[in-house]
A and B are shown apart, each in its own frame.
Chain A
Amino acid sequence: MSARVGKIARLPVAIRDELNRRLLDGQPASKILPWLNGLEAVQKILEEDHEGLRVTDQNLSDWRRGGYADWLRRRENVERTRELSKFSMEMAKASGGNLTEGAAAILSGKILDVLETLENVTREINEMPAGDGLPSRADELLKLSQTLDSLTDSLSSLRAGDHSKQKLTQNQEKLAIMSQQLEIELARLRQQTAKYFMNLRADEREALNAIADSSLSNEDKLEQLGQKLFPLHWKPKSERGL
């Protein structure tokens, strides 16, 4: 798109915006021109760039057809874009996955880009005379739909990633619970063992001490002590899987 180079186009954006609003309100040139030419900022620019010549009726007329028309079109696009933006944000989040706000905002920006471009291309195709360059626009449409496909795939991958993450978190939580349960069981076992020793008769303690002090190997001592302490529940090493 070529840049506008007229007198009005060179004015600061705040003044151009105000001018456009006055045109939108239907103010006549007889009111607009004195206001515009009276602004200090405008006078300065006109002196520097246009040898002090004022903004004329013709300049305003040209602006209406050019810059003002562009501004009007953009205004309409803004409203539509806001709707598209909300829609694409909802699309990014609607998967039910756990997308972060940042990821949803970025993805929705990309989807918005494609949707806006699709809209522009479709509008341009509708305005084209029949058969005039349609094949190349069809290529463009195909590329855009492929991009939208790829974005949809990215959304699905993010969903899958979110689900894997959720599964991992759940497994980690299960593991933490199991570790806690194991700790509780161990504590109970230690307590019961201590209680068991407390309740042993003197002759039973003597028998255990004799095994512990014997010249047997540690492995054999362990086996004998285990059988003595837990006669009903002790399993031989071969059955214990150790």
Chain B
Amino acid sequence: MTADQKEELRHIVLGILVDRHPTALSIKQVFHRAAMEVDFDISGEEVGAALEFQRGLNNVALVPDDFGSTKYYSATSHGVLVHERRIKK
């Protein structure tokens, strides 16, 4: 994946979580939606990496599942603001 595509994927995963705030989605659920929005092939690992990148910026939070090891992510309030301000530019 090129640097531009990675950047695009990061924005898209944040957008997906912001649209569904405050629900939490698994990597698989985000991947399913992201695959419909990009024009290049993506993998679950790449979506996971994009989510972790956004988590590092505090735009996304990891939501632990009490009953398993699946990772779920949800947009933080900060992430919602970042996304909305970007759209308004």
Chain A interfacial positions (CB closer than 8 Å to B): 1, 3-5, 9-10, 12-14, 17, 74, 78, 81-82, 85, 88-89, 100, 102-103, 105-106, 108-109, 112-113
Contacts and interface: CB of A to CB of B under 8 A. Distances in A.
Contact of B20 (A5, A12, A102, A112): A112
Contact of A103 (B12, B36, B39, B66): B66
A3 B11 contact: no
Given A100-B66, A102-B64, A105-B63, A85 B8 contact: no
Nearest to A117: B32
24 contacts: A3-B38, A3-B39, A4-B39, A9-B39, A10-B39, A12-B4, A17-B87, A82-B19, A89-B23, A100-B66, A102-B64, A102-B66, A103-B65, A105-B22, A105-B23, A105-B63, A106-B65, A108-B23, A109-B20, A109-B25, A109-B26, A109-B29, A109-B74, A113-B29
Contact of B19 (A17, A78, A102, A108): A78
A102 B63 contact: yes
Contacts of A106: 24, 63, 65, 72
B23 A13 contact: no
Interface residues of B, number: 28
A85 B20 contact: yes
Contacts of A103: 65-66
Kindly name the residue among B37, B38, B39 whose own CB sees the greatest number of chain A CB atoms within 10 A. Answer: B39
Nearest to B12: A13
